Each structure stands twice: as C-alpha cells, then as structure tokens.
Structure 1
C-alpha cells in the first residue's frame, strides 16, 4: 500500500533510472518512431524476458530498421528504462491521502490497497521483468532498492499520521511497521499476479479476497479501532 498524500505525489521516485536516457526527439516522426520502439520493447521484454530479448527483435516488432533503434537507444538498459518510465503513471496509484469521499480510515486503507493491487495486476509482467533485471543489472538493482525504500518511508509517514490522529497503535515504530506491512502486500501481489500463484483448489487467487485480507491484516497490525 502507498500512503501518499496529494502534496507528496510529485516527489514519487521514477519507475526507472533517469541517467541512461537521452533527450527525446524533437520531430513528430522521431517521436512516433521512439514511441513505437518503446511499445515494441515492452512486448518483447514481457514475452522473452530481459536476458533473451534481442535488439533486432524489438526493431522487428516496431517495424523499423535495426539501425533506427540506435538513433534513440544505445542498448537494452536504455530502452528498458524508457519502458518503465512509460508505465509509471499507471503504477503511481492513489494513496491514502488521495482517496476522497470518506473519513473512515479503514475504508481509505481498503481503497488504497485496491488501487495498488489493481495497478500491480495490470502491470504484472512488467513487475516480474523488473525483478529479473534487478538480479543481473546493478544499476536497476540499486534503483529498485532506492525506490522501495522511498515508498516504505512514505508509508511510514502515513502510519505516523494515523498514530497522531489516534487511529493506529502508538507503541509500534512507524518505519518498522511500514517495512513489514508494505513488504507483505508487495510479496503477495508478486506471488498472485507475477507468478500466478494458485489457491489450494487450483484456482487463481481471488482478487476481492486478496484486497480484504491485506487490508484486515494492516488494520489489525496497527490496531485500528474496531479491529483489535
């Protein structure tokens, strides 16, 4: 779950390291070609995995010459960064402070978890790819670690705010609680959507049950009123 407040949204860490990316093309034709390459790269990365993806396959999927690829990207690392940045708007789901229409902390928590899990499900193949590339590319591994830490700190601020309002248990450390609870939801999302984890009867994990379970565990762990 992401407990981002509205004023924090601009501070959200990007989905990929920015340093490898070149300046975007200035012509409409160049912009179209680059966009086609980014879309094609996502298709090929998700289909073949990072290690088995070839630049020639990306160019073929984009229906352009292989030489055109090098006009916009130097290697797989650069085009993957572009793919992740394209997806970041979808992955920056509403957080607790951005859910409107209710003051009920449990309802807000549930809405935030739902938004996170919906975004994760839509981008499950890409999230699985990011886990894979983090194991083989140090720049993405370091980036993933920084991004995870940033979201944990943001969730910790959200927990501290709940504590100040008398909603959450004031005896737990916000940062430690955030690491435990954020990690729980992230791993459950990865197992359910990226790995396709099955329930005992062999059926996919029920989405509504997943939302309900992680929300109740958050609320119970923080000792929300009525959930103690």
Structure 2
C-alpha cells in the first residue's frame, strides 16, 4: 500500500471517516474546556492502547487524566464517545499514504512508489497501538466495522486509480485487473505493517527492509520495469 493509502488530491477529501457522527459533539467554547477535553482524549487513548477497549474503564481514563468522573461526563456520555473523540483526532495522521496520484517530476515510478510506501510505514508505526485497537473494536462493533471497511475500500479505490494511470501510460501490465490488483497489494502491505508494528513481531527486520520488500512486490506484481521505465 503505497499518506499514498495523495499527491494531486487534497489529503483525506475522498476518505470516509472512522467516526460515527452520532457520537461527536461540538468542541467546548472556553479555552479551559478545550484543554480539559484534550486531556481526557489523550488519557483515553493511553488507556485504550494500554488495556484494550473491552477491558478499559471510565475510572481508568479519569485517573489517567487526573480528573473526576463528573468532569468526564461533562464532555462525553460514554466510553464509546471517548473512543470516537480519540479516532477523530487521530484519523488524519492515520490516513494511509499510498501510491502517488501524480508522478513526481524528479522521481521514477519506482522511486515514487517507494516514497509512498515509506510514508505509509511511518504513519502506521506512529499509530501502531491504535491500529491494533481498531482490530479489536471492529471485531465487536458492526457499525464501526462497516465504517472501517468503507475507509479501506476508499484507499483501495485510490490505489486503483493509480494502477490504471500506470497502465494507460505504459508502465504497468495492461492485462491486470486494476481493482483486484490494487486491493490485493494494498491489503498485503497493510498486513505486513500490522504484523511488524501492531503485533510487534521481532523477526520482521528493519523499517527499510519492509519498505524495500513492499516496493519490490508492487513493482513485480504490476510488471513495472525495475528501473522505472515504460514497458517495451
């Protein structure tokens, strides 16, 4: 999956939200309220990532934020609403960079793909614990699972546009189905990052090795010449 799961597109404009809009509120109107809410959101993320969503308790969040239960209920109605706030703040950084939608003038196609994969890996690594949390929540919450699937589909569609562009310009194998190819390759790199960063598998090598391997697999699968030139 080569922020490529957005050059040429405003970041995030075509990506569905991870947050159920019924769980969001307007931000506080006072500076103190904004600070208190931000403290609660940060505490909630810490607790969710540490204990998991199922086992976390409101008292754990308030203890982490050093505030009362009453203060929590001033800003959120439930643990579910606190999670929505955490995701709302994190989802922009969690936008999965993928293959660039426009070719960088100073890069080959392969170099652009590698840069996209590296940006994806960096974003995943920053949010690895939260990505693991999303797996847990998706397993128990059908509504959230639907939001997550829609978001993943949007990333795959973006990557599909890039594959079609490469095919039209003579870089990629024109016989490949772009939808299936983009979906499969996006899922492949996503799971690579999941095992290395979310599950913290010790035998997955360095960040550079993951990026290099993901890029080579994309290039080989799409039939792109190794030097980034057009196919003859």
Do the two structures share a fold, i.e. TM-score over 0.5?
A: yes
Contact preservation (8 Å) 2:101, 2:161: no
Offset, 1:161: 1.0
More helix by share: 1
**Counterpart in the other structure of 1:4:** 6
Between 1 and 2, higher relative CO (CA 8 Å, sep ≥ 6) is seen in: 2
Aligned residues: 224
Contact preservation (8 Å) 1:15, 1:87: no
Q: Distance in 1 between matches of 2:141 and 2:97?
A: 30
Q: Distance in 2 between matches of 1:15 and 1:192?
A: 23
**Counterpart in the other structure of 2:57:** 54
Contact preservation (8 Å) 2:5, 2:120: no
Q: Distance in 2 between matches of 1:196 and 1:94?
A: 21
Q: Distance in 2 between matches of 1:18 and 1:168?
A: 40
Tell me how large the CA RMSD over aligned residues is: 1.8
TM-score normalized by structure 2?
0.90
Contact preservation (8 Å) 2:219, 2:226: no
**Counterpart in the other structure of 1:34:** 37
Q: Distance in 2 between matches of 1:119 and 1:135?
A: 23
Gapped runs of 5+ residues in structure 2? Answer: none
TM-score normalized by structure 1?
0.92
Offset, 1:94: 4.5
Gapped runs of 5+ residues in structure 1? Answer: none
Contact preservation (8 Å) 1:15, 1:84: yes
Q: Distance in 1 between matches of 2:131 and 2:116?
A: 19
**Counterpart in the other structure of 2:150:** 146
Q: Does 1:69 align with 2:92?
A: no
Contact preservation (8 Å) 2:157, 2:179: yes
Q: 1:98 to 1:41 in 2, by over 3 A?
A: farther
**Counterpart in the other structure of 1:121:** 125
